[in-house]
Structure 1
Amino acid sequence: AVFFSGLVEGTPFSVAIHPQVQGAISLDLKQVTLQEALNLSEEMYGYDIQRSGNVFRVYPSGIRTETFTVNYLLMTRDGSTQSSIMSGGVSQFDNNNNRANNGGLNNFGGNSQTGGNQ
């Protein structure tokens, strides 16, 4: 707790430290920003540090559960495929440009009729 309080001393930032945050932190840093020092302590010691405005919240290492609101209508999906739809089936190409017909024209198993009124 003393480490994090010392980091924000003399800055416009505040720090809120979870009661279960404990242990000694030993870093020898020169000419780094506050954000860089906090990132290092996150990486090296496993703390979860979040910023909200001018306040840094320090949580102990471990698993935490958070809930996020996601607006699915504003999301976009991106992807590609090498599948093509052909009359009577689907054809796919693998990474070696080999063609696989899945119910395609060559493997058509449906019934067909030709002719008209006789």
Structure 2
Amino acid sequence: MTTQAAPPPGSAGTPTASPTAEQFEAVQHSPEFAALRRSHRAFAFPLTVAFIAWYLLYVLLSNYAGGFMGTKLFGNINVALVLGLGQFATTFLIAWLYSRHAAAKLDPQAAAIKERMEAEA
């Protein structure tokens, strides 16, 4: 038994022309692409710097402030454990925030650029 895969949605079985290198370069220098890049960088760079600083603080405290990190908060739970779990929580929080940012701002801008390129091709 042989089956053929259905064409991708929206293609209706007709091949589409691919954009040329010149079209990609033109888009790269367009104001829309600059706005997309600026929106991505304005979100990603500050959060990256903040997370690296937070991680380095944790590592430095672990190495040089053993007494503080060993302070028991309740039961056998100490500061080091709480801050370590905070690293995981921060990672998931940043991923969730980025997915919201991408869905709300980056994806619509990228889709508009893609549609314009496909219309020109």
TM interval, shorter chain, is: under 0.3
TM-score, with length taken from structure 1: 0.20
Task: Choose between structure 1 and 2 for higher RCO, CA contacts under 8 A separated by at least 6 residues.
Answer: 2
Q: Which has the higher strand share?
A: 1
Query: TM (normalized to structure 2)?
Result: 0.20
